[in-house]
Amino acid sequence: MKPRYLFPKDFMADPSANVFNGRMYVYPSHDYDSGAAFDDDGGHFQMRDYHVLSMDDVMNGEVTDHGVILDVDDVPWAEKQMWDNDVVEKNGKYYLVFSAKDYNGVFHLGVAVSDRPEGPFKSEPAPIIGSYSIDPCVFKDDDGEVYCYFGGLWGGQLQWYRNNKLKPAASVGEENFNPTLLPSGKEDALPSRVVRMSEDMLQFAEEPKPVLIVDNSGAPLKADDPHRFFEASWMFKRNGTYYFTYSTGDSHYLCYATADNPYGPFTYQGVILEPVCGWTTHHSITEYKGQWYLFHHDCQPSEGKDWLRSLKVMPLEFDANGKIATMKSE
């Protein structure tokens, strides 16, 4: 089946799709033309607010735009660049976890709370203590524990940190992409992070841990592997298997790796999506009414403008062994 452009009226990206109260909700970033030039730090992504979209038929149904659910002016600690977010329900409240830059140009993760999936959401006064980098995915396991997966290279600043501490050589400022902080060649790739959230969902309950992706022999993927982690962590569970899915950034794939627990290590399995039109590729995978879907974005409608992305969705199939066939979004 051909993918559907979900919301042709506006430019949105980084869709996090979640089912709440029997309805599909999609929480994207909200692209606009700020006039900022393209750079390797993502300085062209100057997003200011979030909307939420909802529908009860993913491929054909009407898509409702519930309007602005959080604006950067209503986040006391954030100056700019409201990048990827995700929402989870816990004990009847909805928690929007998002990434934005503070007034020192440093990315952190923040939490905003609502009584309804449609928002509006009210931001906490300060970012999550000990949080850094971008692209949070909040995943609720069957026992009710919520895990946050996060991190992104280059403009996402993940290369500034080792063992959750700023590397001494990291320069805090506008120049995020400092290649000397990145591993290279046959050094182990930099991993995404996973952390269990506190019961009230407002803080980390523990120190973030690396999300190790290993090959079939148990060796970590290397920095020069085109399938190594870059950004856009997503987690889902199917038939007891934890699927960690992610973008490879500069090689432009969506890939996946599996484990029998939320912390991993995750064994690399393959490519989910071939490169799309545009530099970034970012997604979520969710089941609704018995069908799995791949939500993603591309830049075809804006004729390749990386900072003006459009939401897409298509069905996703698993084989009898739980494997995902590589797809193209055309």
Residues of this chain that bind ligand FUB (CB under 6 A): 13-14, 29, 42, 45, 83-84, 134-135, 152, 231-232, 280, 282
Please identify, using beta-carbon distances, which residue of 267 and 273 lies nearer to ligand FUB. Answer: 273
Closest approach, Cβ 309 to ligand FUB, in A, equals: 8
* Selection from 117, 158, 104 nearest residue 136 by Cα: 158
Please identify, using beta-carbon distances, which residue of 231 and 298 lies nearer to ligand FUB. Answer: 231
Q: Environment class of residue 3 by beta-carbon count within 10 Å: exposed (0-12), middle (13-18) or buried (19+)?
A: buried
Please identify, using beta-carbon distances, which residue of 45 and 161 lies nearer to ligand FUB. Answer: 45
* Three-class secondary structure assignment of 196-261: EECCCCCCECCCCEEECEECCCCCECECCCCCCCCEEEEEEEECCEEEEEEECHHHCCEEEEEECC
Closest approach, Cβ 31 to ligand FUB, in A, equals: 7
Closest approach, Cβ 121 to ligand FUB, in A, equals: 18
Closest approach, Cβ 80 to ligand FUB, in A, equals: 12
Could you give the count of Cα atoms lying within 13 Å of 239 in the half-sphere of its Cβ?
Answer: 8
Q: 14, 31, 86, 135: which one is catalytic?
A: 14
Distance CA 170, CA 159 (A): 8
231 belongs to the catalytic site: yes
Please identify, using beta-carbon distances, which residue of 83 and 147 lies nearer to ligand FUB. Answer: 83
118 belongs to the catalytic site: no
Q: 31, 41, 135, 231: which one is catalytic?
A: 231
Residue whose pair of structure tokens reads 């990206």 in the numeric block: 13
CA angle 146, 64, 13 (to 5 degrees): 60
Closest approach, Cβ 307 to ligand FUB, in A, equals: 9
Determine contact, residues 178/161, Cβ cutoff 8 Å. Answer: no
Alpha-carbon Rg for the chain, nearest whole angstrom, is 18
Please identify, using beta-carbon distances, which residue of 72 and 267 lies nearer to ligand FUB. Answer: 72
Handedness of CA 115, 121, 126, 127 (dihedral sign): positive
Q: Which amino acids are annotated catalytic?
A: 14, 231
